[in-house]
């Protein structure tokens, strides 16, 4: 039996639910989390998952710490970096042997699109969406939709609708819901303007 499975089974024996929840959070396990087998995670002890989290085949460098909130979905090929080199060194170039650690914090109900890069020290607040291929260098406010390199705000979710859905507990996927419903849209996007 693996250490993680042993720890999970041991925590489940604790009779007080609130204490069990704190222990699961501290040791990075909640029921319903799914991490793809090809995901590459360094310093896994610094990774905290909030429950119902999905992480596609991505790379998470957790040396500085990564916290991912409840019901957050992370697409394939994403890269999370929590350390940076000291390029301002007066001893060596291009950088010296010192690394700076900065935590990444992702809120609840966020969606990080495929091939996105999240830089050290970034906080992504609840309900935010990061468009695929984005490079997030600064923190993202609640319900913002960001995209590009570097990522900029390109839209907003309806905050009232978001808060209403969260209050009612209407998250994806719902229990006993079919995996996915496909809706075909026969319309092209507008042309780029000069």
Helix/strand number for the chain, H first, E second: 3, 18
Q: Which candidate in 8, 21, 85, 123 is catalytic?
A: 85
24 included as an active-site residue: no
CA separation, residue 174 to residues 170, 178, 179 (Å): 7, 9, 9
Closest CA to 44 of 22, 23, 29, 34: 29
φ/ψ (deg, to 5) at 6? -60, -45
What is the CB neighbour count within 10 angstroms for residue 29?
A: 17
Catalogue the active-site residues. 85
């Amino acid at each position: 039996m693996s250490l993680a499975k042993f720890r999970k089974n041991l925590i489940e024996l604790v009779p007080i639910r609130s204490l069990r929840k704190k222990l699961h959070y501290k040791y990075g396990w909640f029921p319903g989390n799914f991490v793809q087998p090809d995901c590459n995670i360094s310093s896994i002890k610094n990774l905290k998952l909030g429950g119902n989290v999905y992480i596609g085949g991505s790379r998470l460098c957790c040396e500085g710490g990564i916290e991912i909130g409840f019901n957050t979905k992370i697409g394939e090929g994403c890269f999370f970096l929590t350390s940076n080199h000291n390029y301002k060194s007066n001893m060596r170039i291009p950088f010296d042997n010192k690394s700076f650690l900065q935590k990444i914090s992702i809120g609840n109900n966020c969606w990080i699109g495929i091939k996105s890069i999240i830089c050290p020290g970034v906080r992504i607040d609840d309900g935010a969406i990061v468009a695929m291929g984005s490079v997030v260098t600064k923190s993202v406010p609640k319900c913002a939709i960001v995209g590009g390199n570097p990522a900029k705000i390109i839209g907003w979710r309806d905050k009232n609708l978001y808060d209403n859905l969260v209050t009612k507990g209407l998250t994806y996927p719902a229990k006993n819901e079919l995996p996915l419903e496909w809706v075909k849209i026969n319309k092209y996007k507008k042309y780029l303007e000069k």
